[in-house]
A = this chain, B = another copy of it.
Amino acid sequence: MPLAPAIDTEFEDIFFTPRQEAVLECALGLLVEGGEKALTTAGLARTANCSKESLYKWFGDRDGLLAAVVAYQASKVHFPPESGATADAETFRTHLIAFATELLAVLFGETSVALNRLSIGQSNRDDNRLGRLLLVRGKHMISAKARALLEAGRHRNYLKFDDAEEAYQVLYGLAVRDVHIRLLLGETASAAERDLEGQARDAVQRFYSLFGA
């Protein structure tokens, strides 16, 4: 009987020392500013005042460094303990809007954009660690949180749907539309698109038209 394969356990319980976190923060800054090509080992060592030898000792090689940057950023998102019970219909809707707003704020943030660009640029390599990392530590986490929220709404008869994942995807599409890909391609968002709360409100409005009880 073969052992259960321990896929995707990489970077599971990784922990970085404060010094390493400072260096990774520097790396994030370089990435945000100039993209992948701006993140050279020599450049990072210079701006972070550390030695290349330390970089290679800590992260193995450049790929390990990139993966560490992604893992470090993912480790920064903390999940609030589900914001208590959803009291009534109105506050539940408020929670939905808040969730959508936060989703947009994360996706449109410059660090998220930079890391998405990095992972997408690397996504056609053999193993594709970065893409998997970003998906499993980012999108799938958010998706799980959203499903829990939506199912709570269904349980209280605020919403009506069969598949929570499908409902979440519709909410995602209504909120994000093509703005994310346009940001990734370098277009700057319009004024209306920068009003995250307004966008989220419209999206939830339409979501209720489709899935409201």
A residues lining the B interface (CB < 8 Å): 34-38, 114, 116-117, 119-121, 123-125, 128, 131-132, 134-135, 139, 169-170, 172-178, 180-182, 184-187, 206, 209-210
> Which of B139, B185, B209 interacts with A134 by CB under 8 Å?
B185
Q: Are B120 and A184 in contact (CB under 8 A)?
A: yes
The 8 Å CB contact of A170, one of B116, B131, B134, B174, is B174
| B contact residues around A121 at 8 Å (CB) | 35-36, 117, 120-121
Q: Which residues of B contact A173 (CB under 8 A)?
A: 172-178
Number of copies: 2
CB distance from A213 to the nearest CB of B (A): 15
The reply to whether A178 and B185 contact each other, CB–CB distance below 8 Å, is no
Contact A124 B35 (CB under 8 A): yes
Partner of A186, one of B128, B176, B177: B128
A128, A170, A209 — most chain B CB neighbours (10 Å): A170
23 contacts between A and B (CB under 8 A): A35-B121, A35-B123, A35-B125, A36-B121, A38-B124, A116-B120, A116-B185, A117-B120, A119-B185, A120-B184, A123-B184, A124-B186, A134-B185, A135-B185, A139-B178, A139-B181, A139-B185, A170-B177, A172-B178, A173-B175, A173-B176, A174-B174, A210-B210
* Neighbouring B residues of A125 by C-beta, 8 Å: 35, 37
